[in-house]
């Protein structure tokens, strides 16, 4: 029997195989007790740890710096903090300084320290993704998490030694975090049955939003009570503990896993039997450049992360400056969109796989529908957000709904690369990370420019621009997006099986 180049290996085709249907029936009774769901939960914990380590310095730096005060906003007659709000700021910062040492860092130095985490992120994703695809993701993910966690433990010491050492440590830590965020997708190439792919990756990805929620919720409280160094000690320790689960329990291939049941192994192998998942050692760069479905994913990824990085970086600032609340309450309110988003990521993945398994919608329809909802709904809310800032409850509700809507993109364009080219999933994930980090480098800078020019209309311009960019990216994706396995992602030589 031979496998021809003209075979269209899509997720819908795989489900028609008789052996696969039998294996699915045997395995479906296990539900969330399956080992593959256990791996999804372990990766969820890994992503949780990485995102707490990404954001812990942003939460702790007000407590680490002398003479910190809310930034003044020129031309901001309607947004000047009230006396009561200023009192909250002063009391909060006074509590910070009482329990931990502080440093004389200028605002420029603070900006360099905060952004240093991304200095190595532009170059790291592509080689990390390629290496994970060739040599296996288990050790890439585990090593990245271990390095990032250990470096987190040393951040207080580095801050005492000097700014230069702290910046170098953060650069290395950023590269290690890219290893985790990029390399883990090679695991799903051989572990995720096509009909469960969205569900499993959504469970793992929800750890990122959950991590953002927890660090926003408790970070300020930890700084104020036991001191800012413990923010790094606690979450660095949690990351090291995650490594104890990652190394012994995660394997690159279910066939070699010592603990998986025979029934689940058969189910996974049968579901992927028609799909070439072996990583390609040579990259079809020219074909990738000419691939419009791939460009549709990359453009959509850039546009959606433009908004993501604005929300992640400026939600506390927007709440504290526009709603005029203190730093502690700002962190608590900022955490609400994150926790709702983490829940919606999982629910969106379950819904997408339900629609696919019941053959209610085709795979490409699901990807485009979830992407459209995840872009249009938040964009509309953003446009109207400046007009409801007089109401605290409506503003927070809009931010929560915006996060919930955006999370649906995880079941749409953000996972589409696994459909079109599973052989090159790690490399493509690394390429997508480059586009994401580019958006993350540009969008916060743009926000700062608009706000410094005119604080009253600055936020309105930020939200209008973000909505326009998201809608343009959505239009490009809806026109050129595809869920079919691309010709350049198929095995070039085929083995005849007797």
Q: With beta carbons less than 8 A apart as the criterion, state whether 130 and 427 touch.
A: yes
How far apart are alpha carbons 174 and 148 in whole angstroms?
8
Largest CA distance in the chain: 82
Q: What does the DSSP assignment read for 130-197?
A: HHHHHH-HHHHHHHHHHHHHHHHHTHHHHHHH-HHHHHHHHHHHHHHHHHHHHHTHHHHHHH--GGGH
pLDDT digits 0-9 by tens, 17-52: 444 444 444 444 445 678 888 888 999 999 999 999
pLDDT digits 0-9 by tens, 133-182: 677 778 888 889 999 999 999 999 999 998 999 999 988 998 898 888 87
**Apex CA 218: angle with CA 174 and CA 410, to 5°?**
55
**Apex CA 321: angle with CA 317 and CA 323, to 5°?**
110
Q: Is 121 helix (H, G, I), strand (E, B) or coil?
A: coil
CA-nearest of 125, 144, 168 to 305 is 125
pLDDT at 407 over 70: yes
Mean pLDDT for 412-431 is: 85
Burial grade of 51 (CB within 10 A; 0-12, 13-18, 19 or more): buried
Residue 85 confidence (pLDDT)? 46
Which residues are 341's β-sheet partners?
none
Query: Which range among 244-258, 299-313, 440-454 shows the weakest confidence by mean pLDDT?
Result: 440-454
Tokens 């929620």 belong to residue: 213
Q: What angle do helix axes 363-384 and 327-357 make, rounded to 10 degrees? A: 150
pLDDT digits 0-9 by tens, 101-134: 888 887 667 767 877 777 777 777 777 767 776 7
Written in H, E and C, the secondary structure of 59-119 is HHHHHHECCCCCCCCCCCCCCCCCHHHHHHHHHHHHHHHHHCCCECCCHHHHHHHHHHHHC
Residue 156 confidence (pLDDT)? 93
Residue 190 confidence (pLDDT)? 82
Q: With beta carbons less than 8 A apart as the criterion, state whether 287 and 490 touch.
A: no
Residue 274 confidence (pLDDT)? 58
Residue 428 confidence (pLDDT)? 87
Confidence bin at 99 (pLDDT 50/70/90): low
Residues 6+ apart with CB under 8 A from 196: 36, 353
pTM for the full predicted model: 0.68
How far apart are alpha carbons 334 and 345 in whole angstroms?
18
Tokens 């906003």 belong to residue: 73
pLDDT digits 0-9 by tens, 454-473: 766 888 888 999 999 999 99
């Amino acid at each position: 029997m031979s496998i021809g180049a003209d075979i269209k290996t899509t997720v819908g085709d795989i489900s028609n195989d008789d052996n696969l249907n039998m294996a699915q029936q045997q395995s479906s009774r296990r539900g969330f007790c399956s080992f593959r769901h256990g791996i999804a939960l372990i990766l969820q914990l890994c992503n949780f740890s990485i995102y707490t380590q990404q954001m812990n310095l942003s939460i702790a730096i007000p407590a680490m710096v002398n003479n910190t005060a809310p930034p003044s906003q020129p031309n901001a007659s309607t947004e000047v903090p009230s006396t009561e709000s200023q009192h909250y700021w002063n009391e909060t910062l006074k509590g910070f300084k009482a329990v931990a040492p502080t440093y004389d860092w200028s605002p420029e130095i603070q900006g360099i320290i905060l952004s240093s985490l991304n200095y190595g992120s532009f170059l790291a994703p592509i080689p990390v993704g390629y290496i994970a695809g060739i040599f296996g993701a288990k050790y890439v993910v585990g090593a990245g998490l271990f390095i990032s966690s250990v470096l987190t433990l040393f951040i207080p010491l580095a801050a005492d030694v000097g700014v230069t050492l702290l910046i170098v440590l953060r650069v290395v830590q950023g590269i290690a975090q890219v290893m985790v965020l990029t390399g883990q997708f090679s695991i799903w190439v051989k572990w995720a049955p096509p009909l469960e792919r969205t569900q499993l990756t959504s469970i793992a990805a929800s750890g990122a939003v959950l991590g953002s929620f927890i660090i926003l919720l408790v970070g300020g409280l930890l700084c104020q009570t036991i001191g800012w160094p413990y923010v790094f000690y606690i979450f660095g320790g949690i990351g090291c503990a995650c490594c104890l689960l990652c190394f012994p329990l995660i394997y690159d291939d279910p066939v070699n896993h010592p603990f998986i049941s025979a029934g689940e192994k058969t189910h996974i192998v049968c579901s992927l039997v028609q799909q070439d998942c072996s990583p390609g050692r040579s990259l079809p760069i020219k074909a990738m450049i000419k691939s419009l479905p791939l460009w549709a994913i990359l453009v959509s990824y850039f546009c959606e992360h433009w908004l993501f990085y604005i929300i992640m970086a400026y939600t506390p600032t927007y709440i504290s400056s526009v709603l005029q609340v203190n730093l502690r309450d700002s962190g608590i309110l900022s955490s609400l969109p994150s926790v709702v988003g983490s829940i919606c990521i999982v629910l969106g993945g379950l819904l997408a796989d339900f629609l696919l398994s019941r053959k209610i919608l085709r795979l490409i329809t699901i990807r485009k529908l979830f992407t459209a909802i995840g872009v249009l709904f938040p964009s509309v809310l953003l446009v109207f957000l400046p007009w409801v800032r007089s109401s605290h409850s409506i503003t927070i509700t809009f931010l929560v709904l915006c996060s919930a809507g955006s999370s649906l993109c995880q079941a749409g364009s953000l996972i589409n690369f696994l459909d079109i080219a599973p052989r090159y999933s790690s490399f493509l994930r690394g390429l997508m990370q480059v586009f994401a980090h580019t958006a993350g480098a540009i969008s916060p800078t743009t926000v700062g420019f608009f706000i410094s020019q005119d604080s009253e209309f600055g936020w309105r311009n930020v939200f209008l621009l973000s909505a326009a960019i998201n809608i343009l990216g959505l239009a490009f994706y809806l026109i050129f997006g595809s869920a079919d396995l691309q010709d350049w992602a198929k095995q070039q030589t085929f083995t005849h099986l007797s």
